[in-house]
Chain A
Amino acid sequence: MIGLVVNPVAGVGGPAGLAGSDGAAVQARAAEHGSVPRAGGRAVQALAIIARAHPGVRILTAAGAMGAAAVAEAGLEPVVVFTPVGDPTSPEDTAAAVAAVAAAGATLVLVAGGDGTLRDAVRGLTPPPGRPAVLGIPAGVKMYSPVFAVSPVAAGSLAADWLGPDPVPTAEREVLDVDEAALRRARVEPVLYGTLRVPQRLGRTQARKAPTPATEEAAVASAARAAVAVMRPGVRYLLGPGGTTARIAAELGVAKTPLGVDVVLDGAVIAAAADERRLLDEVAAGPAQAVVTVIGGQGFLLGRGNQQLSARVIRAMGSDPLLVVAPEQKLVDLAGRPLLVDTGDAELDAALAGHVRVITGAAATAFYAVSAPETTPV
Chain B
Amino acid sequence: MSLPVAPKPSPRRFQQASWDEPIVFELSTPGERGVLVTPVEPVVREAVGDVVAALPEGMRRTTPPALPEIAQMRVLKHYLRLSQENLGSDLNVDIGQGTCTIKYSPKINDQLIEVPQLRALHPAQDPADTQGALEAIWRLERLMAEISGMDAVSLASPGGSAGIWTNIAMIRAYHASRGEAEQRDEVITTIFSHPSNAAAAKVAGYKVITIYPDADGYPDLAALQAALSERTAAIMVTNPEDTGIYNPAIKEWVDAAHAVGALASYDQANAAGILGITRARDAGFDVCQFNLHKTFSAPHGSGGPGAAANAVSAALAPFLPGPRVERVDGRFVVREPGELSIGHVAPAHGVILHVVRAYAWIMALGAEGMLEASRIAVLNNNYLLKKVLEIPGASAPYATGRRRIEQVRYSWQELFEETGISSEEIGIRMADYGFHYWTSHHPYVVPQPFTLEPTECYSKAEIDEYVAALAQVAQEARENPELVRTAPHNQTVHHTHHDDLDDPERWAITWRAYRRKYFGEAPDGPARSALPDAEAALAEPVAVGA
Contact = CB atoms under 8 A, between A and B. Distances in A.
Interface in B477-504: 481-482, 485, 497-499, 502
A153 B448 CA distance: 15
B214 interface: yes
B420 A157 contact: yes
Contacts of B482: 52-53
B502 A354 contact: no
Given A52-B485, A366-B210, A165 B497 contact: yes
Interface residues of B, number: 52
A49 B202 CA distance: 43
A130 interface: no
Contacts of A160: 420, 485
B439 A203 contact: yes
B372 interface: no
A363 to B, nearest CB: 5
B488 to A, nearest CB: 13
Contacts of A357: 209, 227
A1 interface: no
A363 B441 contact: no
Contacts of B546: none
A209 B196 contact: yes
B440 A328 contact: no
B220 interface: yes
Contacts of A232: none
A247 B215 CA distance: 31
A368 B481 contact: no
B543 interface: no
Contacts of B444: 202-203, 329, 332
Interface string B185-212: 0000001001110110010001111111
Interface string A133-153: 000000000000000001101
Interface in B365-421: 397-398, 413, 416-421
A367 B207 contact: no
Contacts of B135: none
A331 B210 CA distance: 11
A267 B520 CA distance: 44
B442 interface: yes
A355 interface: yes
A166 interface: yes
A194 interface: no
A329 B220 CA distance: 18
Given A205-B498, A365-B207, A210 B213 contact: no
A52 B215 CA distance: 39
Nearest to B427: A204
B180 interface: no
B198 A364 contact: yes
B32 interface: no
B198 A150 contact: no
A203 B226 contact: no
Interface in B218-242: 220, 222-224, 226-227
Contacts of B210: 328, 360, 364-367
A365 B202 CA distance: 12
Interface string A334-378: 011010000000000000001101001001111111000000000
Given A166-B497, A368-B223, A336 B413 contact: no
A41 to B, nearest CB: 16
B217 A210 contact: no
B179 interface: no
A214 interface: yes
A209 B497 contact: no
B420 A369 contact: no
A210 B195 contact: yes
Contacts of B416: 150-151, 154, 157
A202 B449 CA distance: 11
28 contacts: A52-B481, A52-B482, A150-B413, A150-B416, A150-B447, A151-B417, A153-B418, A154-B420, A156-B420, A166-B497, A166-B499, A167-B499, A203-B424, A203-B442, A203-B444, A204-B424, A205-B440, A210-B199, A210-B443, A211-B208, A212-B195, A214-B502, A329-B444, A332-B445, A336-B213, A357-B209, A360-B210, A369-B212
In order of increasing CB-CB distance, the 6 nearest A-B pairs are A157-B420, A355-B226, A207-B442, A367-B227, A151-B417, A210-B195
Interface of B: 161, 191, 194-196, 198-199, 202, 206-215, 217, 220, 222-224, 226-227, 397-398, 413, 416-424, 439-445, 447, 481-482, 485, 497-499, 502
Interface of A: 49, 52-53, 150-151, 153-154, 156-157, 160, 165-167, 201-207, 209-212, 214, 328-329, 331-332, 335-336, 338, 354-355, 357, 360, 363-369
